[in-house]
A and B are shown apart, each in its own frame.
Chain A
Amino acid sequence: MIRVTIGVVCKEALMGRITEYYHATSLEDAFAKAQQLRPAAAYVGGGVELILRRNPEITTLIDLSRCGLDYITASGEGIEIGSQTTLTTISRSADIRKYAGGSLAWWAGRIAQNNLRDMITVGGVIGRNQPWNDVVPHLIALGAQVRLFDGAERIMPLAGYIEAKQPGVIIKGVLLPAGNAGSSGFLWRFTRTLQDISTLHFSALVSSDGKFMTAANLVFAGRPGHAALYPRLSEGLVGKSLSHETFARVAEMAPDVVEVGTDLRATGEFRRELVRAAIANLEEHMTGVAQ
């Protein structure tokens, strides 16, 4: 009897007390509701993270699924993905499959697992941005921007949004720039299985003319650190030949440049070796030659 009572109390504390589930009908409606209740309200995307890691301060959930944010549109300026678009939908989009070699579409169809990929939304993963997130680092490498709504619309780089953390603001969409159409996206996660949380995550977007690399975004992430761009490493590639020597130089310096965080979940030393391996994998991806 005592054990049952304690169990109920603990569950209640863990779950918080959600007293209202609100289906917003527009962005304006959702934002007004959130402003009225903050900080006791949270937006719901797929809802997966909200259930797994509940915040006891939240009493109202604001559902965005009826706000028209489930879309993918392609134009001369690039591709825009509505924030309520699921990973499965992204993985099946013909436009995204063609974008930067199809890396985002390929991974969106493999991250997590099948019955979660139909629930997880791109806005949800950005809003939550857990350290083990694999979508956000890749989007940052692709140079993505976010379209935000806080009474008015504005656009800012995703990397900047992640750094700034803007509670209450609604992520309306994610924009992939048009200039990357001929580039090659790359993502490498060091995990035991596809479903596993990565010990190290490495994403890149590299453009080349076949002989020289003309642009590069390199992003490292992985618990316990969040995703970060490493321009010093990019500089090691841009303007350089597409050769083993170029990648070997970057692989040599990368372990000292990348912040691998603490020794949590694999030692820092081990993670530094993974950084070197990540660059070697990028080389294989770009040159087709395994080292």
Chain B
Amino acid sequence: MTISITVNVVERSFDVQPDEVLLDVLRREGYLEVKGSCHSGDCGACTVLLDGRPVASCLTLAAKADGHAVTTVRGIGDQAHPHALQDAFLKNGAVQCGYCAPGAITSAKALLDENPDPTEEEVRLAMDSNYCRCTGYEQQVEAVLYAAAQLRKGDAK
């Protein structure tokens, strides 16, 4: 079957199997910034935004995304034009091996889009789907709070 998805603001059509998950489709189509790990919705590495809300792409049927908008971490910002969250992750030591970072930043983006001034508890709740085996989470929480502050001050995009 053919589905149409807007990926990072670009309209795309993909041929997919009826039971194929979004993660597999995105990676097959070259969106390698979306990471696969547990394939059971536990780790959060594959998190993307579906119409602005974070979802585990490993458990999202690609057919269900037909007609919707998907944003990957590269749609949030890239090396040339990093988002404040991406800068904050680097500045706060929230990235070590980096495998979880795309999913973690994506979850954080969904939070800040809705709540520009979150509490630490709200940050932890919004990122409770994202495992990180390197940083111990503290730096990630600090990074999100730092990015939120930067965005509120208007110092970052």
A5 contacts the other chain (Cβ, under 8 Å)? no
A50 to B103, CA, bound (A): 23
Contacting pair A119 B125 (CB below 8 A): no
- Name the contact of A52 in the complex, choosing from B41, B66, B127 (C-beta under 8 A): B41
- Report chain B residues within 8 Å CB of A240: none
B126 contacts the other chain (Cβ, under 8 Å)? yes
Given contacts A44-B64, A116-B129, contact A52 B19 (CB under 8 A): no
- Report chain A residues within 8 Å CB of B61: 21, 44, 47, 50-51, 61
Question: Which residues in chain A, 48-63, are within 8 Å of chain B measured between CB atoms?
Answer: 48, 50-52, 54, 61, 63
B18 contacts the other chain (Cβ, under 8 Å)? yes
Residue of B nearest to A16 (CB): B19
Q: How many chain A residues touch the partner (CB < 8 A)? A: 28
Contacting pair A115 B64 (CB below 8 A): no
A194 to B129, CA, bound (A): 11
B36 contacts the other chain (Cβ, under 8 Å)? no
> Tally of A-B residue pairs with Cβ under 8 A?
79
Stretch of B50-58, B75-83, B94-102 on the interface side = B50-58
Residue of B nearest to A51 (CB): B59
A194 to B128, CA, bound (A): 9
Contacting pair B19 A18 (CB below 8 A): yes
What's the nearest-Cβ distance from chain B to residue A120, in Å? 10
Binding site for B on A (CB under 8 A): 15-16, 18-21, 23, 44, 47-48, 50-52, 54, 61, 63, 65, 88, 109-110, 113-116, 118-119, 194-195
Binding site for A on B (CB under 8 A): 1, 17-19, 21, 40-41, 44, 47, 50, 53-56, 58-61, 63-64, 66, 103, 107, 125-130
